[in-house]
Amino acid sequence: MSTQAMAKPKMRFLRKREKQLNRSVAGNTFLFVIMAICGVFMVLPLVMIVNNALKPLDELYQFPPKIFVRNPTLENFSDLFTLMNGSWVPFSRYIFNTVIITGGGMLGHVICASLAAYPLAKNRFPGKKLLFDMVVLSMMFSWTVTQIPQYLIISWLHINNTYAALVLPAWSFGMGLYLMKQFMEQLPDSLMESARLDGASEWRIFWQIVMPNVKPAWLTLAIFQFQQMWGNTGSLFLRDEQLKPLQYSLQQITAGGVARAGAAAAVTFIIAAVPITFFLICQSNVLETMTTSGMKE
């Protein structure tokens, strides 16, 4: 503790651990310069979205296009809200659909994938390797060609044109299980063994010991799955307008052509802002685990 307290105030933005180990000033400077240069290029799409959303119509059509806005306005957003109010299906309905599809698809997937990952990572039973290999290999088969058989199966199960057609397949995506399994594998066996000796059931071990210890993993998975589900317009499986998600209706607005360019810029902003907000919430919590959990081993 004493070494941490003595740390130079200039270095406060670095994590405490690093100060104790050998970190050269030259190395730090080098890394910061790299970060700064690359950061400028990486942040470009973000900058553009924000600026476009604030541009009045004449600036949106300015040629050659400029990145930065000169006369920022919120007109685009008010235009968008007017359009939303005039929509045939009440906009709250689209939001509700999105909550079910994105929220349900994400939560269900995190739970299903984590539950299945735990035995695969930590228990021994017949069929384990086969099941796991199947999941990893399935990610390598092109999604484009499986779409049609999948459509046939969804029709055959009579869940076409329901939320289930989007949500249930999402629960069994391959990536989530693989991610969770890899993180759970790192947990020391002693953690589970001692709980077993205390008479805890597997379910309880999963919920009270495994899941809190792999919090960074499921928060990351939640980000991936949220993004995936949020971007889904559902147009392949959903016919009823009342069932379609926000993404669909927003994209319909942008399809309105030149007159709606302003509203479209606002739409692009909203489509990006929602997952970004979710991302920031999850990422800052990934961080929190680091500072609070000292219970490894």
Partner 1 sequence: MAMTGNAPGNVTVSPEALEIAKKQAKLSYQISRNKASYAMMAPYFILFFFFTVLPVVMSMILSFTDFNMLEWPNFVGWRNYIKLFLEDDIFIKALKNTLIFAVITGPVSYLLCLLFAWIINEFKGVLRAFLTLIFYAPSICGNAYLVWNLILTGDRYGYLNGLLLKLGILNEARLWMQTEKYVLPVLIVVQLWLSLGTGFLSFIAGLQTVDKSMYEAAALDGVKNRWQELWFVTLPAMKPQLMFGAVMQITQSFAVADISINLAGNPSVNYAGATVVTHLLDYGSTRFEMGYASAIATILFLLMVGTNKLVQKLLGRVGE
Binding flag, residue 112, partner 1 (CB under 8 A)? yes
Q: Which of 6, 10, 58, 125 is in the footprint of partner 1 by CB under 8 A?
A: 125
Q: For residue 77, is it left (φ>0), alpha (ψ between -120 and 50) or beta?
A: alpha
> How many angstroms separate the first and last alpha carbons of the chain?
21
Closer to partner 1 by Cβ: residue 72 or 174: 174
Stretch that binds partner 1, among 1-9, 57-65, 95-103, 252-260 (CB under 8 A): 57-65
User: Which of the residues 8 through 37 are near partner 1 (CB under 8 A)?
Assistant: 13-15, 17-18, 20-24, 27, 31, 34-35
Q: Which of 82, 123, 208, 235 is in the footprint of partner 1 by CB under 8 A?
A: 123
User: Which of the residues 226 through 245 are near partner 1 (CB under 8 A)?
Assistant: 227, 231
Show Cβ contacts of residue 135 under 8 Å, excluding neighbours closer than 6 positions: 174, 177, 178
Closer to partner 1 by Cβ: residue 89 or 253: 253
Residue 196's H or E segment, with its range, is: helix 189-197
Give me the least distance between CB of 232 and partner 1, in Å please. 13
Q: Which of 10, 63, 86, 129 is in the footprint of partner 1 by CB under 8 A?
A: 63
Give the span between the Cα atoms of 117 and 168, in whole angstroms.
18
Q: Which of 77, 94, 163, 183 is in the footprint of partner 1 by CB under 8 A?
A: 183
Closer to partner 1 by Cβ: residue 57 or 286: 286
Q: Which of 29, 65, 158, 239 is in the footprint of partner 1 by CB under 8 A?
A: 65
Task: Print burial letters for 147-159: b (CB count within 10 Å at least 16), e (below 16).
Answer: eeeeeeebeeeeb
The tokens for 104 are: 């349900």
Show Cβ contacts of residue 120 under 8 Å, excluding neighbours closer than 6 positions: 128, 131, 132, 177, 181
Task: Please say whether the dihedral angle defined by the alpha carbons of residues 156, 160, 163 and 165, taken in this order, is positive or negative.
Answer: positive
User: Which of the residues 149 through 168 are near partner 1 (CB under 8 A)?
Assistant: 149-150, 152-154, 157, 168
